[in-house]
Structure 1
Amino acid sequence: MAEEEKNKKPSSTVEAAPSRKDSAQSYLDIDHFREGIVVMKDGSMRAVLSSSAVNFELKAEIERDSIIYAYQNFLNSLDFNIQVIIQSRRLDLENYLADLGKKMNDVSNELLKLQIRDYVDFINTVIAQANIMQKRFYVVIPHFPGGFKKIGAFGKIFSGSQAGVEVNDFAMEKRLLMQKVETTISGLQSVGVFALQLNTQELIELYYGAYNPEQATRQKLINIDQLEAEVIERADEMEI
């Protein structure tokens, strides 16, 4: 038995290294954000509206009936789908308190400065003791371009196109989506709800907070404009 172990040749097979796990982004349906629009991996597009709310319980009975009737007419007037999302998040007053701190340093009146300091301490105490939640309301408007062309990896690099929508088609499909956005905003105004479309930066922050609720409160995103840089090319560089 010992001789067999000694004369046994080492195996030439090598176990394959464990496959690299895909990132969380690969499991999302979002491809990228462009000009205030969410472009999905299948080429479809989404516009997101941030809307106000109506305190229905405080309205009189006549006002309630009017709101219900207006909302019914709004839904019946739509020839496309919409999605209403209610998001509950812990109230973030970090920027508000930072602004108060700046104003306190600029105030020369010592009595007023003391009052601002006491107010900031009071707000911090309330936030620490109570879990104050903030509700935000969003309306998602989908759009499915007809006959969009899939573009490969090399097509993205050399043609400047992104995802499944070509640059020329994107402008046309965006106009069609904007018509749906305007129809939705106008219909919501008849109910007493005011809506505003989110831009690219706001969309990134919205989805970042939705998928990373805890991390979003500790680690803030920078503005995407700060990530842009000029591209410097050599004068004698050959065009491909």
Structure 2
Amino acid sequence: MPAPSTHKFVRVENIRDDVVILRDGSLRAVLLVSSMNFALKSRQEQEAIVFEYQNFLNSLDFPVQILVNSRLVNIDAYIQNLEKKARQHENELLKLQTQEYVKFIHGFVAEANIISTDFYVVVPFSLVESSLSQGGAGERIRTLFGLGGKAATARRERFVKYEAQLMQRVDFVSGGLHRLGVTARMLSTEELISLYWNMYNPGDLRKRHLVKSIFES
């Protein structure tokens, strides 16, 4: 009896058109959000930000997920580039300074890990159409994307309709975040694949290669 595939534990069914489709038929958009140094703000600024954040949360009539993703950063390529530049310097002083800087970086990395932290807001949209309530999650997916029926064009139009409603939520969330003083950018299909790949493969966080074909049919 073959061992069960780990894919069955992954809730993601597909990623296309910059949208994540889950196995239950619901959609997700992921926003990459910039950060701010709250501690450096004045007391008045901090109070204004907290008040605006409270207003933002109270204005939502749908749930959102706030995700903080920290990972080790591989700076081997950066160090190799510095070493290459050091060898190419004709000015002996610049060469020596670059070599000393590389030595400092090596020592720093040996003592502490370099961590990169990204902030995301996940915006959902659930399919609540009665005609999709039968057949289970797999059937809803096939119905939505025309994998099990004949009217592919109509089903594509249905997906576009749901996607448009998701984008309305994305615009609303982006506007609320902008009023807080941070920027938000929606991840593309390739960026979503890379994000989910790294999250489901934590042992490969140092690998920055984009796996383009994971969710391709």
Structure 1 length as normaliser, TM-score? 0.72
1:139 Cα offset (Å) = 0.6
Q: CA deviation at 1:99?
A: 4.8
| Partner in structure 2 of residue 61 of structure 1 | 43
Mapping of residues 102-141 of structure 1, within 5 Å? 103=85, 108-141=90-123
Can you list the C-alpha shifts for 1:57-101, whole angstroms capped at 9, x where unaligned? Answer: 222211111011111111122121111111222233345445545
Whether the 8 Å contact between 2:29 and 2:124 is mirrored in structure 1 is yes
Counterpart-to-counterpart distance in 2, 1:171 and 1:105: 55
**Structure-2 change in CA distance of 1:111 and 1:133 (3 Å):** same
Look up the match of 2:209.
Answer: 221
Q: Which amino acid aligns with 1:24?
A: T
- Cα distance 1:35–1:113, how it changes in 2: closer, same or farther (>3 A)? farther
1:24 to 1:61, Cα distance in 2 relative to 1, 3 A: same
Aligned to 1:78: 60
Residues 103/187 of structure 1: CA separation in 2 closer, same or farther (3 Å cut): farther
Length, aligned pairs only: 202
The 3-state SS of whatever aligns with 1:151 is: helix
RMSD: 2.9
How many angstroms apart in 1 are the aligned matches of 2:190 and 2:10? 19
State the identity %.
Answer: 38
Cα offset, 1:102, TM superposition: 5.9
Q: 1:68 to 1:128 in 2, by over 3 A?
A: same
Q: What is aligned with 2:199? A: 210
TM-score with structure 2 setting the length: 0.79
Query: In terms of Rg, which structure is larger?
Result: 1
The 3-state SS of whatever aligns with 2:142 is coil
Structure 1 residue runs of 5 or longer lacking an equivalent are 1-18, 229-240
1:158–1:133 distance in 2 versus 1, CA, 3 Å: same
2:162 corresponds to: 173
Structure 1 residues 144 and 158: alpha-carbon distance in aligned structure 2, compared to 1, 3 A threshold: closer
Of 158, 170, 174, the match for 1:185: 174
* Pair 1:119–1:63, CA change in 2 (3 A): same
Offset at residue 140 of structure 1 (A): 0.6
Moved more, 34-43 or 101-110: 101-110
| Change in 2 beyond 3 A, CA 1:202/1:159 | farther
Whole-angstrom CA distance in 2 between matches of 1:159 and 1:29? 26
1:92 equivalenced with 2:74 (yes/no): yes
Residue 103 of structure 1, CA deviation: 5.0
